């Protein structure tokens, strides 16, 4: 059984919208509905755990789940203060039979069934994977004083995306380990790496952007218009 944990319990601060960015419309449809739709339509996903803000539950049930008839959303869980806490809450509710878990940002609505497939197959084969794309620009690692510390070789630098996929026992152990050691990661793969487990990068898509700031909405609209999705 394959489970998707879809994270939508953030505050969307950087979006500077009047309400949570997950419910902003993209081509007339809420961002979170776009995201859920791709996982709903993937034949490889058996169940979806949706993690949202407590205050959004009633609206989400009415305007998203009922309206778009998502049948694979088996549980709606409230998130936590940090993304990592929201993931942990989601992990506590996956089915016992779940062998593979994909963890995905609800704010990445342009994910595709092909990326989902690569992440599931990669997680089954390697135990831990992350979607990503090779960086196109040169990266500078900075010192606190604003001067460059060093420039990593571009061929070794990827932009991390989601989904990130894991064998369920690996990601459960990683989050328990992080909680015990008081480790914080901005993604889930970091926590697995901290346990000395290698994470394999799998091909994401440059269009699989995270809707974080207002300009990302313009980019996403343009991608959807161009793709006529
Ligand atoms: N406590 C949190 C924080 C984030 N997320 C989710 O994790 C994804 C990636 O986080 P990000 O893009 O940073 O969203 P926000 O935290 O809402 O944005 P900001 O940092 O601008 O407040 C988003 O789908 C967000 O809803 C979550 O479920 N729970
Ligand atoms: C998980 C992630 O999307 C990988 O790039 C990113 O780390 C999420 O960061 P955020 O600050 O929670 O958006």
Quickly count: other Cβ atoms within 10 Å of residue 35's Cβ. Answer: 27
Instruction: Give the domain range for residue 14.
Output: 2-227
Expressed in angstroms and rounded, the spacing between residue 144 Cα and the centre of ligand 1 is 25
Q: Which atom of ligand 1 is nearest to the CA of 211?
A: 12
Phi, psi for residue 61 in degrees, rounded to 5 = -60, -45
The residue to mutate among 105, 158, 161, having the most atoms of ligand 2 within 8 angstroms of its beta carbon, is 105
- pLDDT tens-digit series, residues 169-223: 999 999 999 999 999 999 999 999 999 999 999 999 999 999 999 999 999 999 9
Phi, psi for residue 32 in degrees, rounded to 5 = -65, -30
Reported ipTM: the value is 0.98
User: What rounded mean pLDDT belongs to the chain?
Assistant: 96
33: domain CATH number?
Answer: 3.90.550.10
Q: Average of pLDDT values for 141-166?
A: 98
Ligand 2 binding pocket, CB closer than 6 Å: 83, 105, 160-162, 186-187, 210
Tokens in use for 163?
A: 């989904």
* Cα–Cα distance measured from residue 99 to residue 35, given in angstroms and rounded to the nearest whole number: 22
Res 215: pLDDT: 97
Phi, psi for residue 187 in degrees, rounded to 5 = -140, 175
H or E element, residue 102: strand 100-105
Structural domain count of the chain? 1
- The ligand that comes nearest to the alpha carbon of residue 85 is 1
Burial class of 16 by CB neighbour count within 10 A (0 to 12, 13 to 18, 19+): exposed
Expressed in angstroms and rounded, the spacing between residue 156 Cα and the centre of ligand 1 is 27
- The ligand that comes nearest to the alpha carbon of residue 190 is 2
The residue to mutate among 5, 7, 8, 10, having the most atoms of ligand 1 within 8 angstroms of its beta carbon, is 10
Q: What is the pairing mode between strands 2-8 and 100-105? A: parallel
Quickly count: other Cβ atoms within 10 Å of residue 53's Cβ. Answer: 18
Res 97: pLDDT: 96
- pLDDT tens-digit series, residues 81-102: 999 999 999 999 999 999 999 9
The residue to mutate among 26, 81, 83, 131, having the most atoms of ligand 1 within 8 angstroms of its beta carbon, is 83
């Amino acid at each position: 059984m394959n489970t998707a944990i879809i994270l939508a319990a953030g505050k969307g601060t950087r979006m500077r919208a009047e309400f949570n960015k997950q419910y902003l419309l993209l081509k007339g449809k809420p961002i979170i509905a776009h995201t859920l739709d791709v996982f709903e339509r993937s034949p490889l996903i058996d169940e979806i755990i949706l993690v949202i803000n407590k205050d959004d539950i009633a609206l989400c049930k009415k305007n998203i789940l009922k309206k778009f008839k998502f049948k694979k959303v088996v549980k709606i869980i409230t998130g936590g203060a940090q993304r990592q806490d929201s993931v942990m809450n989601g992990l506590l509710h996956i089915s016992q039979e779940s062998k593979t878990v994909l963890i995905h940002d609800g704010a990445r609505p342009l994910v595709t069934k092909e990326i989902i497939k690569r992440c599931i197959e990669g997680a089954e084969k390697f135990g831990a994977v992350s979607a990503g794309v090779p960086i196109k620009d040169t990266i500078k690692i900075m010192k606190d004083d604003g001067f460059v510390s060093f420039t990593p070789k571009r061929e070794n630098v990827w932009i991390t995306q989601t989904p990130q996929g894991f064998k369920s026992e690996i990601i459960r152990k990683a989050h328990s380990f992080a909680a015990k050691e008081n480790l914080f990661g901005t993604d889930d793969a970091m926590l697995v790496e901290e346990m000395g487990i290698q994470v394999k990068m799998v091909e994401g898509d440059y269009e699989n952007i995270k809707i974080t700031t207002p300009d990302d909405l313009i980019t996403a609209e343009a991608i959807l218009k161009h793709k006529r999705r």
